[in-house]
Structures are given as C-alpha cells and as structure tokens.
Amino acid sequence: MFSPASPKHALILLFRSIFVVATHSLLITQTFLLCGLAVFGFHRLALVVRYIRLRCEVPRPKDIPKQLPVVTIQLPIFNEKQVVARLLEHTTQIEYPRELLEIQILDDSTDETRVILDELCARYCAEGFDVKVIRRENRAGFKAGALCAGLQCARGELLAIFDADFQPTRQFLYKTVPYFSDASVSMVQTRWSHLNSFFSLLTRAQSVLLDGHFQIEHTARHRSGFYFNFNGTSGIWRKSAIEAAGGWQGDTLTEDLDLSYRAQLAGSKFVYLCDVSVPAELPVEIDAFKSQQHRWTKGSVQVFRKLFRPIVSAPIRRDIKLEALLHLGANFCYPMLLLLGLMVLPCLYVTHTYSGLGIEETSSALQLILFKVVFFSAFLSLFLFYGTAVRETGSLTGRSLWYSLPLALVMGIGLSVNNSLAVIEALIGHRSDFNRTPKTGATNREKGAREKRPRAFRWRAWSHWIECVLAGYFLLTLYYALSIGRWEAVPFVGLYLAGFSIFAILGLRLPSLQTRFRIPGPRSIFAR
C-alpha cells in the first residue's frame, strides 16, 4: 500500500535520477573531449619523432637542367599600397635570364594601389623586364580567380607565386627550378622566415607557431612520404600539374590547400625545402592576426569537407589517408578545447556539491586523465613540437625563447573562440569573403612602422567581447577551484585565463594609443 507521500518521493527520485544521468553525461563528454585532444597531442609528438629521425635526409635535385625553362612569377595583389614597391623591387632582383622570366601582377585592387602598380610596371618595362598587369572586371573567386586568370595567359612552364608581404630572394629560382628536372615533381615549397618576428610579443608568438608548421610538419610529412600542402606563396608549380588537377578553384578560402591535395591525389609529387627560406611580414595588429587565422581555419575545414570522400576512397596507403585526415581536421581541436574549458566550472561544482551521488570516484579518475592525457600528451607535446622548431630554425634564442614559447601556447588557447567560429561556419556551409590580411611594411628595424598600421580595419568586434566575458568566466572558475581546494585544476584553468585575458587586453587596442602618446603601462608588455 502506497503512502500519501509516495508521489512526492517518486518525483524526488525521478529528478535525482535525471540529475545523476545529466552529471555522468557531463563527465563522459569531458572525457571524450580529453581523449580527442590527446589524439591531436600524440599526433604532434609523432611528427616530432619523424622529424628527428628524418632531418638528415635532405632532398637533392636529380641533375642540373641543361636548358632552363621559362618561369612566370605571379604576384596576387589586392589593396597592398604599403608593400607593392618592396615586392616588385625584390622580384626584379631575382637572378634568372630575363628572356626566360615573365612577371605577372594579378591586380584586384580598388584603391590607389592601381596607380602605384601602373607606374612601377612602366618603370620596370623600360628597364627590360617582361612585366604585365592583369586586371579583372570583378573579384570573382578572390585569389583563386586571380591566379586562374593569370594561368590562362602565362607563358612560363613553371609558375612561382609570391604574396605581397614577401621578399623573394635572389637565388630563389636557381635553388628550386633544378628539382623540376624530375618529371614527376609538380611543386616545390620553401620555408617562410620572418621580417618582423621581434616587432612585438604578438609577432614573436606568431613566429613560433609558423616555425612549428614549416620546420616540423612540412619536413616530417614530406620525408615520410605523406601529403603536405603548398602554402599559397613562396613556392613554384609546374603549370601542367595545376591544369591536370582541375586548376585553381574558389569554393574554399584556402585554394592552395585544396589544389595541393587534389594534385597529390592525382599523382603529383611535391618537394619541400626547409633550408630555403623566403622572408615575410607577420601581422602586427591583433585584428589582422585573428582575421588571418579565421580564414586559414575555415578554409582547411572546407577542404576537409570537400575532399574527405576522395581521400578515403583513394587507392593510397592507409597511413597516408590517416595523416591527410589528421592534417585537414587538425582545427577541430579548437571547439574541443573551448568546450573542455567551459565544462571545468560545472564539473567542479557538481563533483564538490553532490559528492554523495556516486560520482566522487568518477571525478577523481577524470582529474587523473586531465593531467596525464592533456598535460603530458597535449601540452607537453606542444612544448616539444614548438621547442624543437624554434631550436632548429634559431629564430628565437636566449631570454626571448623563455617567454615567446609559453606565450605562443597560451595564445593558441586564446584563439579558440575565433577559430571555433570558423569551424562552425565551414561545417554549416556559411559563405564569406576572402579577407586579405592588412600589410604595413613593418620590419624589426622599422619602429616607425607602428604608425602605419591600418587602423580602419576591425575584425569582428563582437568576438572580442566574447573573449572578455570568457576571461571573466575563467577568473571565476579559478577562484572557485581555489576556494574548494581543487589545486589540480588550477594550472589548467590558469592557461585559459591567461589566453583569453591576453586577447581581451590586445583587443582594446591599447598598444596603438600608447605608441602615439607614449603612455607607460601595458605597452611595455605587448610591444617591444
């Protein structure tokens, strides 16, 4: 016989059961995210091992070509008035027979850059260079459309491509063209170096991140026989290989990554030369940096969606398929990283307040996974990955290394909002314009270049406020973890707090104001 209180007790038991299920679901989701990040951590560690094992296997050309081929240098330009003169100056200084060299300026500009380019073109033509300015009626396809237009009228058998912020070296063609004596080689990519890595802490962190990609990832993939990609600039293509792979296509924001994988799936062979570098400018404004990262992240996920089935069904080795999918899907770690951080506070609250619901042991196990999996597989592997890259390139040494490397890792966390939005946009098929990264012409020696920053550029101001809110959220999480004595969560939460705090402060544009008025304070932290 049920008592009158039975319905009330039944309702309490129901809510209790629902809460227990929800709590365990929360902890299981946290475990899943930890395991996902661990996979990417172990993958980076595997790349470091491959790099160390294969770093002495430097590629060499089979022979020196008896007759040099005609080379077309393509320079995609869009409103780059700050750097086009520097670009043309270095391009025309490349050592190669003039009768075998064509320079195409693929100009989509809508500002005074057009006038500057016309004057430069007339000047260099008068000096005997074959320089042409190619313009389109509209910017359809963005950079891919411009490259496609240049491809149709290029007279060169080989096509070298440089973005506006690069400074081609004199020996670039003589160091890359000999590899095309092998008929199977379709593309040669060189390493990016940095014109302004010591301009500010922001550029130092970027140099660390890029050195990891170019020194470790590219080298390990190329020498292991895996697929790697052309980076849109400082590389040289065989024209016939581009055409055989379907040409430049503008349906993704990373046309270079897209073409690279289509060409390699079609049988093309790529070569990477990490000992040949081309210096380039790093973004000096946080908005420009975030815009660039958003485009790269969104584009790579778009390529992942586009080429997932062709890669899986391709008649290639399984390890090549797995490496390709890990490469193209690496940016999925950003939403996983963000969700994992957001779940720390509710997990701490639940495990502390409702320890009598049978989840105390689960919580302890998860905290053990937190340290062993995340710190020792993910974060430790990142330190080894980027530390090895910086040591090999020698780009940062001494005191600068001690703060630049941790700053780069912390800023990777700070990017999780910006890049998670890019992943979501790519997955839902949201179309967006190709936002070129603003250039300033800044170098390490040109301190006055701070005054040339394009202040009109503002990248998604509302995302900055999300980062500010998250900085406050993780400050609250840190306070709560300390108040309940959960010391094991403090380092983890501290990384998130540092990452979002840096982006919140930089997003206020204080460095620009302090440069103008010489106000002491945060500028001494974020700018040299």
Query: Is 108 in the active site?
Result: yes
Q: Which of 107, 211, 256, 258 is catalytic?
A: 256
Going from the C-alpha of 144 to that of each of 137, 156, 158, 391, 394, the distances in angstroms are 15, 18, 17, 35, 34
d(CA 80, CA 439): 7
Query: Is 251 in the active site?
Result: no
Cα 427 to its chain centre, rounded Å, is: 18
| Longest Cα–Cα distance in the chain | 106
d(CA 133, CA 120): 10
HEC profile for 381-441? HHHHHHHHHHHHHCCCCCHHHHHHHHHHHHHHHHCHHHHHHHHHHHHCCCCCCCCCCCCCC
Encoded tokens for 520: 């002491």
Beta bridge partners of 237: 159, 187
Cα separation of the two ends of the chain? 80
Q: Which of 108, 165, 211, 258 is catalytic?
A: 108
Q: Locate tokens 């349906």: which residue?
A: 251
Going from the C-alpha of 162 to that of each of 350, 441, 458, the distances in angstroms are 54, 15, 26
d(CA 202, CA 196): 10
d(CA 336, CA 463): 18
- List of residues 6+ apart from 7 with CB closer than 8 A: none
Which is nearest to 303 in space by CA: 268, 330, 272? 330
d(CA 283, CA 474): 28
Which is nearest to 435 in space by CA: 234, 203, 253? 253
Q: Which residues are catalytic?
A: 108, 256
